[in-house]
Amino acid sequence: MAESIIDNERAGAVHLSTAELQRYSRHLIMPEVTAEGQKRLKAARVLCIGAGGLGSPAAVYLAAAGVGRLGIVDFDKVDLTNLQRQILHGTKDVGRGKLESARDRLGDINPETEIKLHDCRFSSENAEEIVDGYDVVVDGSDNFATRYLSNDVCVFARKPNIYGSVFRFEGQTTVFAPHLGGPCYRCLFPEPPPPDSVPNCAQAGVLGVLPGIIGMLQAIETIKLIIGVGEPLIGRLVHFDALKVHFRELRLRRDSQCPVCGENPTIFAPIDYDQFCGARETGTVPEISVHELKRKIDARETFELIDVREPFEFEIARINGATLIPLGEIAEHADELKREQPIVVHCHSGRRSAQAVRLLLQRGFTNVYNLEGGIDAWSDQIDPGVPKY
């Protein structure tokens, strides 16, 4: 049986009121939990990175279970497209900060839990300070830069990092805790994938229930570590395929050459993760804002607007006047584009169009611009009548 990550002294200093004994009675009657385990939960401080698809179910169940302090880092606002899976937020919350709706929802589920809000992007500058106030981190992020950051900071601080990720109908979870055995995220993935090679949920979609399952597994692993029961998912990764209803378990190995948890580590402090993951590459192409595009259209300037999304996306939403050439077909159609007039390229969020702009620049085009933020920003800032998806 595992040991609790909450030491006896801290758990012993906690008191459960009559109302709490009642609230948690279904826990207390289990011999694996009892009042002792419930006190450990109350003494525990858990940080959720992100109040999105994974963070929502994890936070809901961790608060309901009686975790003493639940921290949430997020800077986003609730969008209508979030509600299909991000169960912390409701229709009335659209446009509000995710932290505000998380505070309301979690406070209603369990007023005994202290909800601590970190209204910021989890970054190299603030990550160590934030994690310092917690015993365990639930990584509900949706990008590689944040995953590496969360991993590294947890390895430095010797705190478990409960990993989860989802993609369409599949998800996976594991517990990274080299100080308790097992590997870290970098042991598995020493290098991030090339930028733009792995589509995110906004590009590839995700079944709404899927992050629910993975986020709840993350909550279960967190609670097991706190109470000190069962076999934690350390050194094991669970992969779930919703279409086949298959749970597969993969053994994970620690890499002795790992730069953060290996025998001779070379990284001792947070690095520049955006640069490491190449996330800044989109900034290296010439860009224009949606406001500048609006100005060009209103001024009836001569230019070509190319939409490099897929036809089904074009059916959902489009900017008037745009010509559809999916990214995969840009190369073969490049010669048909007029070189003498400016070309503005857009996609959903600005990532695929940046690739298209790079390709056209390589082909000798000089007057090509990426639309920053894509049609998503257009819909947010210029024309709310253009549907978001």
Residue nearest to Zn ion (CB): 258
Q: Which of 184, 187, 261, 347 is catalytic?
A: 347
Q: Which of 154, 201, 261, 277 is catalytic?
A: 201
Among 47, 187, 207, 317, binds Zn ion (CB under 5 A): 187
Q: Is residue 188 at the binding interface for Zn ion, with CB under 5 A as the rule?
A: no
Give the interface segment with Zn ion, choosing from 20-28, 64-72, 224-232, 257-265 (CB under 5 A): 257-265
Long-range contacts of 284-287 (CB under 8 A, 24+ apart): 285/354, 285/357, 285/358, 285/361, 285/368, 285/369, 285/370, 286/357, 286/368, 286/369, 286/370, 287/350, 287/369, 287/370, 287/371, 287/372
Interaction residues for Zn ion, span 204-233 (CB under 5 A): none
Give the interface segment with Zn ion, choosing from 44-52, 72-80, 252-260, 323-331 (CB under 5 A): 252-260
- Is 347 among the residues known to form the active site? yes
Q: Is residue 186 at the binding interface for Zn ion, with CB under 5 A as the rule?
A: yes
Q: What gap in Å lies between CA 307 and CA 83, rounded to an integer?
A: 27
- Is 48 among the residues known to form the active site? no
End-to-end distance of the chain based on CA atoms, in angstroms?
46
Q: Is residue 184 at the binding interface for Zn ion, with CB under 5 A as the rule?
A: yes
Nearer to Zn ion, 86 or 141 (CB): 141
Give the interface segment with Zn ion, choosing from 19-27, 120-128, 258-266, 339-347 (CB under 5 A): 258-266
Beta-carbon contacts of 106 under 8 Å, excluding residues fewer than 6 positions away, are 59, 60, 63, 70, 88, 113, 115
Q: Is residue 5 at the binding interface for Zn ion, with CB under 5 A as the rule?
A: no
Q: Is residue 59 at the binding interface for Zn ion, with CB under 5 A as the rule?
A: no
Reading the block at residue 263, the tokens are 């025998």
Q: Is residue 277 at the binding interface for Zn ion, with CB under 5 A as the rule?
A: no
Give the interface segment with Zn ion, choosing from 15-23, 54-62, 176-184, 358-366 (CB under 5 A): 176-184
Q: Is residue 261 at the binding interface for Zn ion, with CB under 5 A as the rule?
A: yes
Q: Calculate ∠ Cα 263-126-268, nearest 5°.
A: 15
Q: Is residue 252 at the binding interface for Zn ion, with CB under 5 A as the rule?
A: no
Which residues of the shown chain bind Zn ion in the complex (CB under 5 A)? 184, 186-187, 258, 261
Please give the positions annotated as active site.
201, 347
